[in-house]
Amino acid sequence: MSGGPLIVQSDRTLLLEVDHPDADECRTAIAPFAELERSPEHVHTYRLTPLGLWNARAAGHDAEQVVDALLRFSRYPVPHALLVDVAETMDRYGRLQLLHDPAHGLVLRGLDPAVLVEVTRSKRLAGMLGARIDDDTVTVHPSERGRLKQALLKLGWPADDLAGYVDGEAHPIALDTADWQLRPYQEQATEQFWAGGSGVVVLPCGAGKTLVGAAAMARASATTLILVTNTVAGRQWKRELVARTSLTADEIGEYSGERKEIRPVTIATYQVLTTRRNGAFTHLDLFGARDWGLVIYDEVHLLPAPIFRFTADLQARRRLGLTATLVREDGREGDVFSLIGPKRYDAPWRDIEAQGWIAPADCTEVRVTLTDAERMSYATAEAEDRYRLAATARTKLPVVKALVDRHADDQVLVIGGYLDQLHELGEYLDAPVVQGTTTNKRREKLFEEFRRGELSTLVLSRVGNFSIDLPEAGVMVQVSGTFGSRQEEAQRLGRVLRPKGDQRQAHFYTVVARDTVDTDYAAHRQRFLAEQGYAYSIVDADDILGPRLPTD
Instruction: State the chain's maximal CA–CA distance in angstroms.
Output: 80
What pLDDT, on the 0 to 100 scale, is given for residue 59?
A: 83
The fold of the 359-545 domain, in CATH, is Rossmann fold (3.40.50)
What pLDDT, on the 0 to 100 scale, is given for residue 548?
A: 44
Q: Residue 318 pairs with which residues in a beta bridge? A: 294
What pLDDT, on the 0 to 100 scale, is given for residue 349?
A: 75
The half-sphere exposure of 270 on its side-chain side, counting CA atoms within 13 A, is: 19
What pLDDT, on the 0 to 100 scale, is given for residue 467?
A: 57
**Backbone region of residue 549 per phi and psi (left: phi > 0; alpha: psi in -120 to 50; beta: other values):** beta
53, 89 contact by CB (below 8 A): yes
What pLDDT, on the 0 to 100 scale, is given for residue 314?
A: 86
What pLDDT, on the 0 to 100 scale, is given for residue 403?
A: 95
**pLDDT tens across 457-466, in order?**
999 887 766 6
* Other C-beta atoms lying within 10 Å of the C-beta of residue 101: 14
Q: Which amino acid is at 426?
A: G
* Other C-beta atoms lying within 10 Å of the C-beta of residue 294: 26
Same fold, 184-352 and 359-545: yes
Tell me the C-alpha to C-alpha distance, in Å, between residue 439 and each of 424, 431, 443, 469, 498: 20, 17, 6, 17, 26
What pLDDT, on the 0 to 100 scale, is given for residue 286?
A: 80
What pLDDT, on the 0 to 100 scale, is given for residue 64?
A: 95
Q: Which amino acid is at 458?
A: L
Query: CA-CA distance, 9 to 7, in Å (whole number)?
Result: 6
Kindly give the interhelix angle for 396-406 and 419-429, rounded to the nearest 10 degrees: 50
Q: Can you give the residue ranges of every domain in the chain?
A: 6-92, 96-161, 184-352, 359-545
Report the SS3 class of residue 350. Answer: helix
304, 294 contact by CB (below 8 A): no
What pLDDT, on the 0 to 100 scale, is given for residue 250?
A: 97
Q: Residue 512 pairs with which residues in a beta bridge? A: 367
Identify the segments of the chain with pLDDT beneath 70: 1-2, 39-41, 329, 464-468, 471, 483-487, 499-502, 531, 533, 547-552
Report the SS3 class of residue 441. Answer: helix
CATH architecture entry for 184-352: 3-Layer(aba) Sandwich (3.40)
